[in-house]
Structure 1
């Protein structure tokens, strides 16, 4: 293999061996804002938090977020 030291390279996140890919994604994007459509709401009791279930384009699973952490806007 050629000496790659000091070379800039490109690679897929899915090809990362260490650290776990989700750690890299978190460090790069943890403050990014996602947007989606609320499809369900869990009403917490007096002591419990309420959560919203959000459908986000490009994400296959529904996302659950504490209701007090979302920002509403007109689409």
Structure 2
């Protein structure tokens, strides 16, 4: 009886260790993906700012629109 309980606990522990290892790997992969996405967002923000700056430079603020 006691031996059966110990065996059951060992099986449960083994299963839990396996699940924890799989979850740890998934978390690692998700963190890598999040880091890559954060880097891409920063690059896109810089490109957008550069384009906005370029658009602002090409339109003088005191120039009248062509239809006047």
TM-score normalized with structure 1 length:
0.18
Structure that is richer in strand per residue: 1
Which of structures 1 and 2 has the larger relative contact order (alpha carbons within 8 angstroms, sep 6+)?
1
Structure that is richer in helix per residue: 2
User: Highest Rg: 1 or 2?
Assistant: 2
